[in-house]
Structure 1
Amino acid sequence: MPKKKLFSEETMTIDNCQCVYCGHVFNGRSACNGDMDRQTVTCPKCRKLMFVSISVEYTCTPIED
């Protein structure tokens, strides 16, 4: 039986997750339940499990001159 074609091998978005199986976009924070160490997430549409990598970017700027 041939493998089903993926929507994408990898998706990268800000604030949301995009399922690699069906392309559905959903709230990443809710899906991970705020757990920054989470390694997997389930798509709420197709219910398939996928790996997730979470990163946070900080930008700092001066307050005083």
Structure 2
Amino acid sequence: MQNPGEGRNTFTVFTALQTDDSGLEVGAVFNHGGYLKVSEINTPHVRGSEATCSVGAVEVTIS
């Protein structure tokens, strides 16, 4: 029979979680887009992972 250990809880509150896994050890938890995630070696969730781009130009004329 396995012992669940001392960390067994029925209610836990996490406050002030990071929003990415930058600088966290493997297995640490963080908040990414409202989801609780666990830091892994080959699955990065880096800061500033958003991107924008533009193609061509648009001209709007109101008369």
Superposition TM-score tier, normalisation by shorter sequence:
under 0.3
TM-score, length-scaled by structure 1: 0.27
Structure with bigger RCO (C-alpha 8 Å, 6+ apart) = 2
The structure carrying a bigger strand percent of its residues is 1
Higher helix share: 1
**Larger Cα-atom Rg:** 2
TM-score computed with the length of structure 2 as normaliser: 0.28
